[in-house]
Amino acid sequence: MKKLTVEIADNSILHAQGLMGRKELQKEHGMLFIFPFMREASFWGKDTYIPLDIAFINKNKEIIDIQEIVPMSTKPVRSNGICSFAIETHMGFFKDNEIDIGHTIKIEGDQVLFDD
């Protein structure tokens, strides 16, 4: 089981800030966005210096979409469906760890565990 250490973004202020302004992100770290209600989510790379992957996750904690966020881009990256969570981490994390659409997650404190 693969593990990712995450910061939790569970309110509108933390959602808006995300990983913007960061020059670095430790390996195997990211940010878990917890939404107050299920929705189509939209992100962008504005003021973000780190190339990111984002996984959109439904209420059953199943990955429904994975996309890339380009640094400093204002082009929206939208979920391909309704989600309850999103995870931002280093670009390539999901591919490198063979994590794909259909995999499920488990949240334990500041850890996200991905099924095998």
pLDDT tens profile 47-85: 999 999 999 999 999 999 999 999 999 999 999 999 999
Q: What is the mean pLDDT of residues 20-37?
A: 96
Q: Is the pLDDT of residue 36 over 80?
A: yes
The answer to whether the CB of 45 falls within 8 A of the CB of 71 is: yes
pLDDT of residue 96: 96
- Domains of the chain listed by start with CATH number: 2-114 (2.60.120.1140)
H helices present in the chain, as ranges: 12-17, 93-96
pLDDT of residue 1: 86
Task: Say if residues 66 and 102 touch (Cβ distance below 8 Å).
Answer: no
* Per-residue pLDDT at 116: 74
